A = this chain, B = another copy of it.
Amino acid sequence: MQLSNSSQYAIRILAYMADQKDSKLMNATELAGALYIPYKFLTKIMTELVKVGLVVSIRGREGGYKFEKKTSEIMVSDILDIFNDSIKDEQCVLGIGFCNGLCKCALHDQWMEPKLLLQRMFRESSLEDIAGRGCKI
């Protein structure tokens, strides 16, 4: 019952970037060092984020990453979607494909409330919202 490492890392990276006062370019070495994420794994994740258009990368010397979209427009749920890690409506907590009102799983009703809360939390929290919360790791 947890997020994948990729999602966790991605959220931490983006929240860290969003927290930088000036929207300066940040490079992989810096991010990996600050966030204790394996460098090579971090660059792999960043490349994903570039591909989906959340951030842009500047290659070459003095290069790095910066946001493509405004941090107020990037929701945590967007990040989870990239790594197939979201909580969609169709997903049954017990893995039953056709769990719905007619034929539902044994936990369907109890699951509904926390599920809705989770969905809301992920969908309504933007990077701007969460940046700067807690410690910077």
How many copies of the chain does the oligomer comprise?
2
Q: How far is the CB of A18 from chain B (nearest CB, A)?
A: 9
Q: How large is the interface on A (under 10, 10 to 19, 20 to 34, 35 or more residues)?
A: 35 or more
B103 touches A114 (CB 8 A): no
Confirm or deny: A95 has a beta carbon within 8 angstroms of a beta carbon on chain B. Answer: yes
Nearest-neighbour CB distance to chain B for A131, whole angstroms, equals 7
Is A110 a contact of B114 with CB atoms below 8 Å? Answer: no
Contacting residue for A118 out of B103, B114, B133, CB 8 A: B114
A contact residues vs B (CB 8 Å cutoff): 1-3, 5, 8, 11-12, 15, 76, 80, 85-87, 91, 93-96, 99, 103-111, 113-114, 117-118, 121, 125, 130-131, 133-135, 137
